[in-house]
Copies of this chain bind each other. A is one copy, B any other.
Amino acid sequence: MTSPSERGRMPSIRDVARLAEVSHQTVSRVLNDHPSIRPETKARVLDAIAVLDYRPNLAARALVTSKSQTLGVLSATIGEFGPTSSIAAIEEAARAEGYSVTTLNLTSTSPEDIGSAVRQLGREHVDGIVVLAPQVRVFHVLRGMASTVPFVTLQSASGADEIGLSADQMAGARLITEHLIALGRTEILHLAGPQDWIEAESRMRGYLDALREADLPTFPPIRGDWTADFGHFAGQELARRPDFTAVFAANDLMAIGLMHGFRDAGLRVPEDVSVVGFDDIPVAAHVAPPLTTVHQDFSELGRRAVALLLAQIRGEVAPSFGALAPVLRIRESAVSR
């Protein structure tokens, strides 16, 4: 005489119902804490649930509700510190709200690939998507897709009318450029990020604004690819025409590579050239010389993204976050103390 639940199958809502001597519907009500249910009955049901170690089948629930309690993360950034920290925070915040997270890494940012990635996430019935794909093209594709799935983007220009969420990149870039100016540097170069990257544009804009405001000459920015290797290369090249006294690199990795290149060429940092970066990655404080940079709170960004997305999903009013204030981390790479 074996009950179904003893035959290796996972206990279902009906097994619980039988044990608690109620209908399976009552069990369902307990599960979704429906208001009208007698405490006594509820207790019996909860008891049965505990006894059987019953867990609702998420697939069944997803099928009938067409909601999966799952958030998708669409990322087009490979293993960098910033996005990675944000993703970890997203995941934690989502779990805290009862959502699980599935990630999808974009290897290309062609409209087709983005489209198919979003569709794939749709197939998986994610309830919403967080996009960490800082290229403007991705942004455009997304807008045009009229996707049925709510989404939030993590990076964007700091323009007020954007959907996106981000630290105020432009303000940060301005801040650090002004710092260089305050130090008495007047020929300030910019080692920018790749074209098409929203953050690269914002940081460049902040840089240009600061220079213009100070009536300082601007130079055509060098286009980098975010990597330390490129920074290294650029440093060696730049050292041949030392018509500058400071460089603002669009991220820390390039700044560190840049310093390496300068070192190779016999240029001293900060004596001959000031170098500053952006992001404040964990090694920034420990390279030689310690890197002056702009600190970003990637984790907070991730948490906000989830809050915003969930509000959108639930149809609540979106919490309005002020822009995340970037903070200057002054160390020795801009000037010796």
A residues in contact (CB < 8 Å) with B: 55-60, 62-63, 66, 68, 70, 78-79, 81, 84-85, 88, 91-92, 95, 100-105, 107, 119-120, 122-125, 227-229, 231-232, 253, 256-257, 259-260, 263, 282-283, 285-288, 290
Contacts and interface: CB of A to CB of B under 8 A. Distances in A.
A260 B55 CA distance: 52
A255 to B, nearest CB: 10
A285 B257 CA distance: 9
Q: Which 8 pairs of residues, A with B, have the shortest CB-CB distance?
A: A59-B62, A260-B286, A288-B288, A59-B63, A102-B102, A228-B286, A79-B84, A257-B286
A256 B228 contact: no
Contacts of A263: 288
Contacts of A104: 91, 95, 100-101
Contact of A256 (B66, B95, B123, B283): B283
Contacts of A105: 88, 91-92
Contacts of A57: 63, 125
Number of chain copies forming the complex: 2
5 contacts: A55-B123, A100-B104, A228-B283, A260-B285, A260-B288
Contacts of A256: 283, 286-287
A254 B63 CA distance: 49
Contacts of A232: 285-286
Nearest to A82: B79
Nearest to A63: B59
B81 A79 contact: yes
Contacts of A78: 88
Contacts of A228: 282-283, 285-286
Nearest to A77: B88
A64 to B, nearest CB: 9
- Name the residue among A60, A79, A263, A290 with the largest chain B CB count within 10 angstroms: A79
Nearest to A117: B95
Given A63-B63, A102-B102, A283-B287, 16 more contacts: A55-B119, A59-B125, A70-B102, A79-B85, A101-B103, A101-B104, A227-B282, A228-B282, A228-B283, A228-B286, A232-B285, A253-B282, A257-B286, A259-B286, A260-B288, A283-B283
Contacts of A282: 227-229, 253
Contacts of A66: 59
A124 B58 contact: yes
B288 A287 contact: yes
Nearest to A86: B79
Contacts of A285: 228-229, 232, 260
Contacts of A103: 91, 101-103
